[in-house]
Structure 1
Amino acid sequence: MTRLQWGMIGGGAGSQIGPTHRISAGMDGLYQLTAGAFDIDPERGRAFAKSLDVPEDRTYGNWQEMLEGERARTDRLDLVTVATPNATHYEISKAFLEAGFHVLCEKPLTMTAGEAEEIVALSRETGKICAVNYGYSGYALVRQMRAMVANGDLGRIRLIKAEFAHGFHADAEEADNPRVRWRYDPAQAGTSAVFADAGIHAFHMACFVSGQTPSALSADFASLVEGRQLEDDAMINIRLNGGTLCRLWTSAVAVGRMHGLTLQVFGEKGGLSWQQQHPEQLYWTPVNGRTEVIERGGPGLSEEAQRASRIPVGHAEGMPVAFANIYRDLAEVLSAEREGRAPDPLALGFPAAEDGMWSMRAIEAAARSAKSGGSWVDL
């Protein structure tokens, strides 16, 4: 099998997310890392590329050099991952889409809803994929939840409770740490801090599992560490277009909470509960029945969950496998395009530019709602 040619922008030495992308993309042997611009410092980036055995003639000092170098090649990249600071996502993704490349962009897709709408339109116009790395949607049991909801096992979905709350920004003494400070600076983070950074994952997961899009929301933002211009805690009520109500809490000051991503779905016939820190178990409770523990890799799972399960039951999987499922979905679609065949339908659930657009609309609406005392804002 010929591996897909893959390039990466950002994600260099010291990156928080870069190693996970490389581990995940390499997990199935579907991609070969053949090009990259890994660092804002060109020499540091080239040195890092050498450590990854990236060919010297496809090692670039910045993304502009990479775009010019790769667009002229006959052996073009099949996929470009954008793992740079948030404010650069729009410009880089737009440029590579316009040049005819498929893109996987880290979230947030853009800094504004208007920019996200442009990317959606450009992706449709060029016929090129622009995926967004809402990587937690790759977990096998998250896909099991989605399949159970779609199958009607829960009946009509009445309520979703979503959380992404941690305590890593609770220490006021750390307020001037550069790794923390930028997140609460409107010039660098935009209109929202913790909702845009963490809570948006819970928002996407609620939409992904329910199969619904948001129609309106109401938000309460709080800056609980003195001096912060943007929120470090938020409570958001969301009305989804299928009639479901979502209650979402996100926080960066919840001391004692670690990762804190959880999702509970309550329907007429039963409820589901899942935690990212314990991703191997999904709790299913039918109305008037006993709670059942659904094990990742166990019997009776949906086709979606079976496809996303990589190792035998009882052995823990984690975030790199969830990311790898998104890379594998993209590889299936890109390979099908190359081979002139229809892709496996199970590969079509990856988060796309439309998901990034809804996220940016929600962030802007939540900021407006919070400023107006929690009034409801239509999306």
Structure 2
Amino acid sequence: MSLIRLSGVTKTFAPPSKDAPPVTAVDDVDLTVEAGEVCGIIGYSGAGKSTVLRLVNALESPTSGAVEIDGRDITRLRERELRQLRGDIGMIFQQFNLFESRTVAGNVAYPLEIAGRSRADISARVSELLQFVGLADKARSYPEQLSGGQKQRVGIARALATEPRILLADEATSALDPDTTQEVLALLRRVNRELGVTILVITHEMDVIRSLADRVIVMENGRIIEAGEVFDVLSAPRHAATKRFVASIIEDVPAGEQLRTLRERHPGRIVTFTVRDGDVTQADVFGALAAHDVRFELIHGGINDIRGRVFGHLTLALTGDPEAVSRAIAAASAFAPLIEEDPRG
């Protein structure tokens, strides 16, 4: 059974003015998240991803459809039952949402205090969590004394305080620099791997999806337009919006002006082939080219590691006797299609 399930969920908000139509933020969405996985929802501003998160956390009620957590339709729960449910769901935020008047330890302790835990239990749990997130030496510090990455670590520790089964991450790395982002993503991977917490992360950064998620859901205008395993979606995106996201982290096959520029800079014939985990290796293609006494130079593209699997496009400039180059391309094409684009377009 899925831990999180949305079935035919639509969320419509009242119009911003009396002359405007209602706003449909989520439109007939079906979505499942399995226990123990990391699922990423990506989309541009206004795609509906934040509303989905608020529906899962029962901070919003759907206009229609069902939202289930561990098989229970939360749209039918009473307020007391919803409060209990939220204790099983942790939340981390883009802007950290820490209490500036509380120490690091005090911030982590807060949800435990609300839950009525004893002082001894709170002290032990806070110590355990600060050790886990690498902030044991910052227990008495205040948020203003911390870096952005440290603040987010406090936010993660606080979200884990009540031992939730689900962690919701709302643009959790958007306010961080690239190096700190990778540190926080590594911590979230530990949360999932070592603690078994199911994570639903929303973001507009495809690199976050590549680094953290097992599965990705792409949203646009309130609808899911593409979904699948991260490697499958990144290596073969179908929808135009997905392709734009993927292009932000993976070099595509050169075309148009980019291809014309490469032709001006590099003599010979320019070809591109794709490396996809389990399909072809660079050595196969390079070996076939070298066997025909053809020189080749890598001029564009690269190989990407996607959760331990490789994918990428490599563009080469081939020089040598024209007939030898043609034979080399034919031989290499037995391993992978070599695309030779029309420079006009």
Radius of gyration: which is bigger? 2
Larger strand percent: 2
TM-score, L = length of structure 1: 0.22
TM-score, L = length of structure 2: 0.24
